[in-house]
Amino acid sequence: MPFQVLFLESRGLSLGDVLDLNVVFTLATVALEVPTGVFADRYGRRRAMALGGLVMTAACALFVVGGSLWVYAAANALAALSMTLASGADSAWLHDYLAAQNLSDRYNHHEGLSTAAKGIGNLLAVLVGGVLYSVWPASVFVFTGALTAASAALALRLPESHATVRGTNAREHFLRAVSTLQRDPRLTSVMLFGALTFVLFRVSLFTDQPHLEIHLTGPWVGHLALAAALLAAAKEIGGAAIAFYSGPLQDRVATKILVPGLAVLAVGVYALMGRGNAALDIALMVILSSAFGLFSPLMRSVMNRLIIDSRDRATLLSFESMGRRLLFALASPLFGRAVEGSSLHATFTGTAWVAAVGYIALGVVAFGLFRIPVARDPEPGVRTSAVASLV
């Protein structure tokens, strides 16, 4: 990700083209999230993750050989398929594996450790990628493709704790998951919060290069790729460190405090970045990205505590991921055009206001929803325990 904008611009694409490709990627994830979640529930989470690794290898191959916008669009679509195959399936696998070992109470800790491990892996990839990119830009994709092929082999060696669902067809499986959302709108409110927060945390990734170009001075001006790699490394270190301690933090601090705390942080960071101070901007970019180390395991934890039927776990988690990507698909081109029409820092200020209004409206709705029992509760004892744990 840190080198994609630089790589595609070196191949003759404009920043607008890159943002348009991001829309292709995001729309593909929206279309594929739920079908791949159903696939994981019906045919096994480890198979879904393994297939995702192989598909990413194919996507990287297209990036290397691609020479047109259409080829890069196909590569982005394959990358989206890869991510959706793993998204939800990995968290569902971890939850059910721990449940099978009677370790459900350790899920928060292990989800945080999982996120931290991803951050450390990203950090190593960024540092190695910065060196490789300076030698041969396409080598970043060769390196990534080799790693994802290896990850596919590793995924197939995992034990499968979840019994695959074969009693219903895919359509019935999908409708059952939709029915769950209709019965419990609290899940939907959590998904909406996740979508808004995800957009705020992730849209800043595409402002790394413009930020650095604005603020770099002296000898750094000629080393944009290295600066981007160092910034990405700082973000990954921060995210991994926070994710590592997210489990104990969730044990000590109530969810009803952590969730609005993340919202206030996101709005505050965008408001401050609108001031245009160089050192402050870069520090805030690291803080915002690092906070994702808490956001991701927190969202998975809340969703898993609200989901009763394990048969639909990966599917419902995919609904949450789909909501994130859908809003991102809408917001990303709007953000990019706003920057082109105004300025980067003015766009940050406007984003802060829009986000504040969105959070306030969502908070009012969620406050009422979590005070009202669900319409139908097939397992009252379990549901009551889950809601008590959540609050």
Average pLDDT over every residue of 271-300: 84
For residue 50, pLDDT over 90 is answered with: yes
Distance of CA 341 to the CA centre of its chain: 28
Query: In this predicted model, which residue has the larger pLDDT, 125 or 385?
Result: 125
For residue 285, pLDDT over 50 is answered with: yes
**Band of pLDDT at residue 220, cut at 50, 70 and 90:** low
Q: Which of 87, 327, 94 is nearest to 194 (CA)?
A: 327
- How far is it, in rounded angstroms, from Cα 109 to Cα 288? 22
Range ranked top by mean pLDDT from 41-45, 72-76, 118-122: 72-76
**Band of pLDDT at residue 361, cut at 50, 70 and 90:** very high
pLDDT at 358: 92
Average pLDDT over every residue of 172-194: 83
Average pLDDT over every residue of 20-43: 83
Average pLDDT over every residue of 245-259: 84
Range ranked top by mean pLDDT from 3-17, 182-196, 226-240: 182-196
Q: Of all residues in the chain, what percent carry a pLDDT higher than 70?
A: 87
For residue 208, pLDDT over 80 is answered with: no
Number of Cβ atoms within 10 Å of the Cβ of 229: 21
Residue ranges per domain, the chain? 4-162+170-390
pLDDT at 377: 44
SS3 156: coil
For residue 382, pLDDT over 70 is answered with: no
Number of Cβ atoms within 10 Å of the Cβ of 164: 13
Structure tokens at 387: 């809601």
**Band of pLDDT at residue 54, cut at 50, 70 and 90:** very high
For residue 379, pLDDT over 80 is answered with: no
Cβ neighbours of residue 330 under 8 Å, at least 6 residues apart? none
Question: What are the φ and ψ backbone dihedral angles of 213, each rounded to 5 degrees?
Answer: -65, -35
- Mean pLDDT taken over the chain: 81
For residue 109, pLDDT over 50 is answered with: yes
Could you tell me the fold of the domain covering 4-162+170-390? Growth Hormone; Chain: A; (1.20.1250)
For residue 209, pLDDT over 90 is answered with: no
**Band of pLDDT at residue 58, cut at 50, 70 and 90:** very high
- How far is it, in rounded angstroms, from Cα 263 to Cα 259? 7
Average pLDDT over every residue of 294-305: 85
Contacts 24+ apart (CB under 8 A), 13-18: 13/69, 13/72, 15/336, 16/336, 16/340, 17/69, 18/206
**Band of pLDDT at residue 241, cut at 50, 70 and 90:** confident
Counting Cα atoms < 13 Å in the Cβ hemisphere of 176 gives: 19
Which of 173-177, 364-368, 370-374 shows the lowest per-residue confidence on average (mean pLDDT)? 370-374
pLDDT at 216: 67
For residue 265, pLDDT over 90 is answered with: yes
Question: What are the φ and ψ backbone dihedral angles of 211, each rounded to 5 degrees?
Answer: -60, -50
